[in-house]
Amino acid sequence: MLPNSRLILLLLGLLGASATLLAAERGARAAPVTPIPSLDVPRYMGVWYEIAKFPNRFQSKCAGDTTAHYSLQPDRTVQVINRCRRADGTVIDAVGTARQLGGPTSATLKVRFAPRWLSFLPFVWGDYWVIDLDPDYQLAAVSEPGRDYLWILARTPTVSRQAYGALLDRLERQGFDLSKLEVTRQAR
């Protein structure tokens, strides 16, 4: 092997080891995402307004007025209707189903927007974890174990600065990078 090839291999090895150590250090600093201890699912039902979110591909066409409508079904699943307004003013809906994991007060759910006939495939189900919720069920934060997604939801199109700021403080303590947060435009 040529001396330059050895040097390149050594540098690549060091680079890989450094990246692994940095990733491990970052993971060690952030505690695992945990859902709230208990969720009263019937009380959680109704309309929630999106206050802010981490940008994501499936909401890329949404310009504002984003809401989530949850309704409990007879089979204990939850019908989910996500609605938003596009830049051209048209409204789009995404209809899905959520199912609670664990016991009747679990705040860990799985949601799918794929057709029902695909529901046997595990990858069509996404994590929906309620990770913060005020006692009056007026302001919530929803995420998943990897912290790739985050939604802040409220029962009204706007929230007080104080309540929003306190929620952001709690989310930051949970290891969320709030610089990625994007405020949602809501019609008043």
Least confident of 12-26, 33-47, 78-92, 152-166: 12-26
Token readout for 118 is 């695909």
The contacts of residue 25 (CB under 8 Å, 6+ apart) are none
pLDDT by residue (tens digit) across 15-66? Answer: 343 333 334 344 445 789 999 999 999 999 999 999 999 999 989 999 999 9
CB atoms within 10 A of CB 148: 11
Span 68-76, mean pLDDT?
96
The contacts of residue 79 (CB under 8 Å, 6+ apart) are 69, 70, 71, 73, 95, 96, 97
For the whole model, what pTM was predicted? Answer: 0.82
Q: What is the pLDDT of residue 81?
A: 97
Helix (H) or strand (E) holding 28: helix 3-29
d(CA 50, CA 61): 15
pLDDT by residue (tens digit) across 130-153? Answer: 999 999 999 999 999 999 999 999
